[in-house]
Amino acid sequence: MPRVAVIGAGLVGRSWAMVFARAGWQAVLYDPVEGVTQQALGLVKDGLADQARHGLVDDPEAALGRISSAPDLGPALERADYVQESGPEHVDAKRAIWADLDRLTPAGVVITSSTSAITASRFTESLAGRGRCLVGHPVNPPHVVPIVELAGAPWTSAETIKRARAIFESVGQVPIEV
Q: Is the dihedral of CA 11, 16, 21, 26 positive or negative?
A: negative
**Spatial separation of the C-alpha atoms in residues 97 and 75, rounded to whole Å:** 15
> For position 6, what pLDDT does the model report?
98
Decide if 40 contacts 31 (C-beta within 8 A). Answer: yes
In the predicted structure, residue 95 carries a pLDDT above the cut 90? yes
User: Which position has the higher pLDDT, 13 or 144?
Assistant: 13
> For position 165, what pLDDT does the model report?
98
Closest listed residue to residue 31, CA positions, set 92, 73, 91: 73
In the predicted structure, residue 140 carries a pLDDT above the cut 90? no
Average pLDDT score over the chain: 97
Q: Which 3 state secondary structure label does DSSP give 18?
A: helix
**Spatial separation of the C-alpha atoms in residues 66 and 98, rounded to whole Å:** 25
| Model confidence, pTM | 0.96
Decide if 44 contacts 18 (C-beta within 8 A). Answer: yes
pLDDT band of 107, cuts 50, 70, 90:
very high
Strand bridging mode 147-152 / 133-138 = antiparallel
The pLDDT tens digits of the residues spanning 17-51 come to 999 999 999 999 999 999 999 999 999 999 999 99
Decide if 82 contacts 132 (C-beta within 8 A). Answer: no
In the predicted structure, residue 163 carries a pLDDT above the cut 90? yes
